Every structure is written in C-alpha cells, then in structure tokens.
Amino acid sequence: MRAPGNVRLSWAAVALGWLVAACAGAGLTALLKRLYPVAVGAPVGADGTSLGLAVVLAVSGFLAYLLGGYVAGRRAGASGGINGAMTGLLGLCVGGVLVSALPPAGDALARDGLLPPAALGFALGSAPVVALLSGATLFGGCVGGLMGEPVHP
C-alpha cells in the first residue's frame, strides 16, 4: 500500500512487528519485574500500581517495541520509521480496546506485560501513566523502525 508522498506503509510488516513486540514485551516484563528489586532494593509493589511498575513497563515497552519496530522496518524495506511507529500505534489501539472491552482481564494482562504497556494506564484511568507508557511505546517503535530500515545505495 502506498501512502501519500514517498512513504511506504506495509500493514503486513506492522502486524508482524506488533506480534514480535507483544511476545517480547511479555518476556521482558517478567524479566524486569525480577531485576527491579535487585537494582533498586525495593519491590515492584504488591498492589501492582507502584511507580516501580510504571518504570518496569516503560522500559520493557520501549525495548519490546524497539524490537518490533525493527522487524517492521526490516520487513517493509522502506519507510522504517513510520512502519515502526505504526507498530506502536497498533499496540496502543489493541491494548485500549481490550482493556475497555474486558476490564478485569485486560487489567491483568496489562500488568503481566501481555498487552502493550500503556494498557495499564488505560486500566488505571491515569492520564500521566498513559502518556509515559504511550510515549515509550511509540518512540521505541519509531527508533526500531529506523534502525531496521535497509540502507539503499
């Protein structure tokens, strides 16, 4: 599909990037939840709404969408930044819809990293958390897409 200008948007690449990011996010969130207390000396939080959880989800979201954006940019072959950013945007949309449609299940999935990190902000109804986690997701996807875009001589 050709978008206006010289931008090539590949929905297949975006979907693949999102799938990679979702899988990576689950593993990274679990890993970072275990490493956070070691690094900081304080638990992530028993209630799951602590600042520590927001930090863990922001970092795991950035890294997961960095990887997903990279895959989308590499797969698209051009316009890696936009394909990577769209990977993050797709994740935000899916997370928002699932949290809205299935509040208890969506909240649990967001806390475990199975949904994009910003879904936790939607579940909590917290605009600053949504902004922080959405920014990390979109920035990671865009940077990953730019890194994955093949260099054409």
Euclidean distance between CA atoms 19 and 23, whole angstroms? 6
Euclidean distance between CA atoms 76 and 69, whole angstroms? 10
The number of beta carbons lying within 10 Å of the beta carbon of residue 22 is: 21
Q: Say whether pLDDT at 21 is over 50.
A: yes
pLDDT tens digits along 1-15: 444 557 789 999 999
For position 2, what pLDDT does the model report?
45
Better-predicted residue by pLDDT, 115 or 70: 70
Tokens encoding 6: 């010289």
For position 68, what pLDDT does the model report?
95
**Phi, psi for 93 (deg, rounded to 5):** -65, -45
**Mean pLDDT to the nearest integer, 66-74:** 95
**Mean pLDDT to the nearest integer, 138-150:** 92
For position 40, what pLDDT does the model report?
76
Q: What is the mean pLDDT of the chain?
A: 80
Q: Say whether pLDDT at 50 is over 50.
A: yes
Q: Where are the domains of the chain?
A: 11-148
